[in-house]
Amino acid sequence: MTSTPGSLPIVRSVLLPTDMSPGSEIAFQHALAIALLRKTSLTMLHVETSSSSVELPSVREMLERWGLLEEGSSRSAVYENFNVRIKKKVVKGRPLPVILETLEKGYIDLVVVATKGPGGVSGWLKPSVSEPLAHRTDTSTLFVPIGKPGMVDPATGQITARKILVPVAEVPDAQNAVTLAARTAIAAHHVHGDPVELYLMHVGDHMPDLELPEHEGIRWSQGLQQGDVIDQIIRTAGDRQADLVVMASDGRSGIMDAFRGSHSEQIVRLVPCPLLVVPITAHEMPLLLT
């Protein structure tokens, strides 16, 4: 079944929890690139677990590195040139409760968080902090693995995604994830001009009935797999050289339920590209990129 892309709510605010550990800059680059495309606010949140003080990443320095701002630009230049509001928060406490409390207090459409891969650097954004965000919030969450290629060019800040994998199941309903993946593909197509491959995979005998938005910048394909769900997602993402994996979650059961415990560690740590988890319980599904 196909349809034209629907009109979806936009991303109005992006949250970047950061522990300032080496290598976490890639999540900062993804959060900033999305905020620039959406012309929305970006909140950088650091939770101090010790008495040492930190300095949050400089947006202006990154924009200067990307060639989007002249060197030595004023602090107001970010909003004046890009209509992006930057907020920086440093608070004391335990990371996970602080992040969840922040999401409850203010309207955040998208969380971007760095995750530690095998052999990666340590910090408070370890699995015990990052993984529960996938099933303890109604906010879409983009997990960006440290030390692996992302979907943002670190030299220019441009979106580079050309291949997106969307694992689907009967439960939870994957339509929101499919639609959001399509919208992301359209945005990436507008940036680099190439069609984006969107591959639907289902572990089972019959592909669920889904509406697939039509657009000149999207090329749909699909396939059925057999075996362990987690293993098949990780293998397919690697075999197809996916730049992004987009998955649905209902927070309690279905495909993401198997990701708790050791399976959660597998999907967050071993998927070879950013992972976008889209809760079906969200009141409004954000338009990630447009």
Tens place of pLDDT per residue across the chain (290 aa)? 444 444 344 567 899 988 877 778 899 999 999 999 888 899 998 887 665 667 788 999 999 999 999 988 888 899 999 999 999 988 887 777 888 888 777 678 888 988 875 444 344 455 445 555 555 567 788 989 888 889 999 999 999 999 999 999 888 888 888 988 998 999 899 999 999 999 999 999 999 999 999 999 999 999 999 998 888 999 999 999 999 999 887 754 444 444 444 344 567 777 889 999 887 765 444 444 44
Of 245, 246, 247, which Cα lies nearest the Cα of 272? 245
Q: Which residues contact 177 (CB under 8 A, 6 or more apart)?
A: 166, 168, 246, 247, 248, 276, 278
Residue 227 and residue 233 in contact, taking contact as beta carbons nearer than 8 Å: no
Length of the chain: 290
Structure tokens belonging to residue 255? 């495909």
Which residues are paired to 173 by β-bridges? none
Residue 110 and residue 142 in contact, taking contact as beta carbons nearer than 8 Å: yes
Q: pTM, whole model, 2 decimals?
A: 0.84
Q: Which CATH superfamily is domain 151-279 in?
A: HUPs (3.40.50.620)
Q: What is the pLDDT of residue 247?
A: 87
CATH topology of domain 13-145: Rossmann fold (3.40.50)
Domains 13-145 and 151-279 share a fold: yes
Question: What are the angstrom distances between the C-alpha of 8 and each of 5, 175, 182, 244?
Answer: 9, 13, 12, 20
Domain ranges for the chain: 13-145, 151-279
What's the rounded Cα separation, in Å, for the pair 218 and 212?
A: 10
